[in-house]
Structure formats: structure tokens, C-alpha cells
Amino acid sequence: MIRVAIADDQALVRSAFALLLRSDPRIELVGEAADGVEAVELARREQPDVMLMDVRMPRLDGVEATRRIVGQPGNRTRVLILTTFDLDEYVFGALQAGAGGFLVKDVEPEGLLRAIEVLAAGESLLAPRATTRLIEEYLARRPAPSGPPPPGLAGLTAREREVLAAVGRGRTNAEIARELFITYATVKSHVSHLLTKLDARDRTQLVVLAHEFGLLG
């Protein structure tokens, strides 16, 4: 059972998400929050596996709420940012604050349920249609690379490069396993090796590296 919480300042949106979540027998809805302050307290009290987080909320926005949730001692809650626009200015800050990923609110119901499953399994997720645009915008906002590629890049195996390219295209571990005809566990192992070899903080940083150094294949 995946324990999920909702944080959104619009009651109608919360009700719609709650109805969807309650329709799935794999999911338990453990609470709702109408702003960022309530979201932080809800996460502390209930420790959901996944928190659906709006970004524009009163009292405390979703970016700061995410930062506080992720920073709580012993936190295990993964935050999934839900935004109206696929390049909402807050998305960058939310990912930097530790969000596990983001989706646009017009995602199909099956897509949202799948995203919850992906995050609960410990993976990260970026809205597929926005991944390239997100990274391009991110790279445009940051200073130009100050040096050569990470030292570990030259030491990647051919298979690790294939996995990195797939990660850069926004694929989940399950999708990579199907595309490369390898097991899910093998993909997880490759991603773990990539994080170590490239000294990357998280999966999102791997996506940035793949785009920045032209490794998408």
C-alpha cells in the first residue's frame, strides 16, 4: 500500500485528486493540506510515501515546503510537484529543493497513478514532454560549464552510456529496462554506478549532464 498526501490550495483540485487516489486499491490517502505550512506538518505527522505538491500556495509555497519536508530528520516522503505549466518558474527551485519530480496537472489519471508508483519505488520523474525544454531552460539560466566533462565520464562503459542517454530523455527505470532488454535491477545498478562515477547528486543532475555534454545518442 502506497501512502499518499495532497497539498493544494484549491479545494476542487484536492477533491479531484482525492477521488482518483481513492479509486486505486494500491493507494491510501492519508491527508490533505491547503497550504505549504499544513503540508510540512502533514508530512511530519503522517510520513506519507508520496506528497502531491502544488507550487503556488499561500503562507508557504511548494518550493519551501518541499525543502522543509526533505530536510526533516529521517524523512522518507518523496515530493511530486504538480504544476499548471510544464515550465513553471517554480519547478527549477522545487527540483533543487529535493523534489522527486514533476508533472503538469493535465496528466492523464493513469499517468499520475504511475508517477506515484515510480516515486514510491525510489525513482525520480520528469514530465516526459517537458524534459528537454526543462533542461534547455535550466542550462540557459546557469553559467556556461566552467570546465571539461566530469572525470568519470570517460570511464563509462558502453552500456552505462546507453542508460545515461535514456535517463537524459526522461525514461524511467522500467522503460529503460524494456528498451535495452535488461532487467529492472540491472538498470538500477547502472544508475547507481552513474551517480557515483559522475559525482551526481540525483537523477535530475544526470539528465542535465546528458544534455550538457551531448550524450543523448
Nearest C-alpha neighbor of 198 from the set 166, 172, 161: 161
Percent helix / strand / coil, the chain, rounded to 5: 55, 15, 35
Pick the CATH number of 2-137 from 1.10.10.1100, 1.20.1730.10, 1.10.10.10, 3.40.50.2300: 3.40.50.2300
CATH class (in words) of the domain with range 143-212: mainly alpha
* pTM higher than the cut 0.95: no
Q: How far apart are CA 39 and CA 77, in angstroms?
A: 11
**Confidence (pLDDT) at 32:** 97
Per-residue pLDDT reduced to its tens digit, 9-23: 999 999 999 999 999
Q: Residue 205: helix, strand or coil by DSSP? A: helix
Per-residue pLDDT reduced to its tens digit, 112-130: 998 899 888 877 776 655 5
Q: What percent of the chain has pLDDT over 70?
A: 85
Domain range summary for the chain, segments of one domain joined by +: 2-137, 143-212
Is residue 212 within 8 A of residue 205, CB to CB? The reply is: no
